[in-house]
Amino acid sequence: MRNLRHLSVILFVLVAMICFFSCDKSRPGSFEVGEGSFLLNGKPFVVKAGEVHFPRIPQEYWEHRIKMVKAQGMNTICIYVFWNFHEPKQDQFCFEGQADVRSFVKLCQKHGLYVIVRPGPYCCAEWEMGGLPWWLLKKKDINLRSLDPFFMERVKKFEGKLAEQLADLQITKGGPIIMVQVENEFGGYGTDKPYVSAVRDVLREVGWTDVPLFQCDWSSNFEQNALDDLLWTMNFGTGSHIDSQFNRLKELRPNTPLMCSEFWSGWFDNWGRAHETREAKDMVAGLREMLEKNISFSLYMVHGGTSFGHWAGANSPGYQPDCTSYDYDAPIDEAGRATPKFWLLREMLQQFSDKKLPEVPEALPVIAIPKFELIEFAPLADGFGGLKTTEDQNNLTFEYNNLGWGSMFYITSLPEVSVPSVLKMDAHDYAQVFINDKFVGRLDRRIRETSLTIPPTKEGDVIRILVEATGRINYGRAIKDFKGIVGDVTLTPILQKGEAEAICLTGWERYGISDDYKQAVSALEGFSGKRVDEYHENFKDEVKLFGTRGYYRGTFSLQETGDTWLDMSTWGKGQVYVNGHAIGRFWEIGPQQTLFLPGCWLKKGENEIIVLDVVGPQKSFIEGLDHPILDNLRQPTPVITPLDGETWQGDGPGAVWQGDGPGAL
């Protein structure tokens, strides 16, 4: 009996050891830069990564998307970590809920995927200010992405907090993280090796010491900031000539492993430009060629997702605001479904795998929601937040007034001008001008509108300028993108003979309208949730001034939940909140006409929706479709040509839409 017990113990120990060595995914390992190849635990390894941004995916869907990436045939997931998402206010760090990057990385490991971390501090990614926090701009003279002492102090603090979350998940400590990026495409910003070196040193100091550090850029500029002790990788997209992208790198480092750290599967969309797509066969051909040549890659994007809330940025030069959808024409679409690109790529990647790829997860349920009306209303003025008076006439920006995102009313009195005059200002980004109770015009930064003609005025006439911020620039030198009115506002009489002197308007009162859900609820409750028809009947003065601009609230009831797309094609410009979740920006000009609404944010029974429309809708109805509309550009649009000294990134700007739009009274 005793021998039997001993045998049972021995068998138990053997089974436990077998399970540990064969099933445990947290054993310490190694990932190194070898001669001509990456080495995973000492053996040659080709990185087949897909880029995924966890803030662009509801937390409830993270695991589904990770499974989709693995079923695509990838062995690694690449992530940006957006600084402003984790420190929305200075010294208020968040790594919980939707911002729980540690949980996302551990989910990747759970499903046998390695992770590449790209912690900035600058990311780009068509994300608000490229991932940099807006509150940095409260220090007006700050030099971003430089050795500016305040900037580097904040970089070190953020990177330290992030390392507390992730550094112990490096592969040498039993985690899935195999590489970490230093800064991002700095050649598109400038040449500053001391700064790039300082970021490298910060990352090492906070704990990224066990895995290779790398820097990425384009083949045309990577030498400008290349550091000798970092791995160099290239970024390029579908249709590129692969060998030419690496020619110079192979001359300088003939034995280095080659990697395309961003192989663009598609492209992003801008408001007022045609929807972007790329050919599936061209994407797959480029990836196949790299694999045949033992070149590692990260497919940007394998799944794009959605820039919920106010997180979509804007491209530059010029001002090209990014759409809410970040579908990117990726193999896995915005709702996490397999596209024809997915299946073509999966078939090819299966040929480069010695194991059968996992089954593709089922698509999540999709529903349609019958049309419903939003009948509660509050005028835009009921969203006013704090007031800033006239302490600094030279600083009318949101940042000076402690407003990160949203809109601001600027109000002052006008002098008497007996003839029409030209009102001139630099408004970031969409300004609407009212004199007394009349709407007189708008200025759209996209199409470089900085002035408009206004009628004669009497002394004491009131001018109100409503400026809505769309998204801070995320690329190039223009990322120092202040919002609101930037500089002076002047009035120049139009004379038949001679030139009149410009009058600088002063004495501005400033009323901020934050674009968050709590502010929207407060506005509606402060107005006692009046019906739209009741507002028009009983508040005629407000109707004259604000028209249909304001907050709308409605409800819809569901028996079953599922993903859907809100049709916003009858609305003007603004934001949507469903059950407290910020769904994103809409704008009638297109090309995007629907907003993706994840089913995990819906519930059986009654659901609440609030729309903030700063232009005003044609009709205050919404329905939920079972498909997106991402390619409906409303009107033919003029091309914006570069100014002197400007060069366009990538394909350059497309057409932009021009017109009066709704809301003119």
Residues annotated as catalytic are 185, 262
Q: Are 486 and 426 in contact (CB under 8 A)?
A: yes
What does the block give as tokens for 448? Answer: 């470089």
DSSP 575: E
CA 408 to chain CA centroid, nearest Å = 22
**Residues in a beta bridge with 118:** 80
What does the block give as tokens for 255? Answer: 């034995």
Whole-Å CA distances, 493 to 413, 414, 496, 505, 582? 16, 13, 10, 13, 43
- Which H or E element spans position 232? strand 231-237
Q: Are 422 and 451 in contact (CB under 8 A)?
A: yes
Peptide bond connecting 598 to the previous residue in cis, omega within 30 degrees of 0: no
Q: Are 155 and 199 in contact (CB under 8 A)?
A: yes
What is the per-residue DSSP string for 285-327? HHHHHHHHTT-EEEEEEEE--B--TT-B-EETTTTEEBPSB--
What does the block give as tokens for 243? Answer: 């060998």
Q: Are 417 and 525 in contact (CB under 8 A)?
A: no
What is the C-alpha to C-alpha distance for residues 415 and 500, in angstroms, rounded to an integer? 14
CA angle 572, 278, 285 (to 5 degrees): 160
Amino acid 271 reads W
Q: Are 639 and 388 in contact (CB under 8 A)?
A: no
What does the block give as tokens for 578? Answer: 């469903």
What does the block give as tokens for 160? Answer: 């330290």
What is the C-alpha to C-alpha distance for residues 306 and 365, in angstroms, rounded to an integer? 18
Q: Are 583 and 568 in contact (CB under 8 A)?
A: no
| Side-by-side strand order, sheet with 503-504 | 451-454, 421-424, 490-493, 503-504
CB burial string 500-520: b at 16+ within 10 A, e below: eeeeebeebebbbbbbbbebb
What does the block give as tokens for 465? Answer: 């300028």
What is the C-alpha to C-alpha distance for residues 618 and 616, in angstroms, rounded to an integer? 7
Beta strands, E only, 470-627? 484-485, 490-493, 503-504, 509-514, 530-531, 550-558, 564-567, 573-578, 581-587, 594-597, 605-613, 621-625
What is the C-alpha to C-alpha distance for residues 62 and 82, in angstroms, rounded to an integer? 17
Q: SS3 sequence, 427-444?
A: EECEEEEEECCEEEEEEE
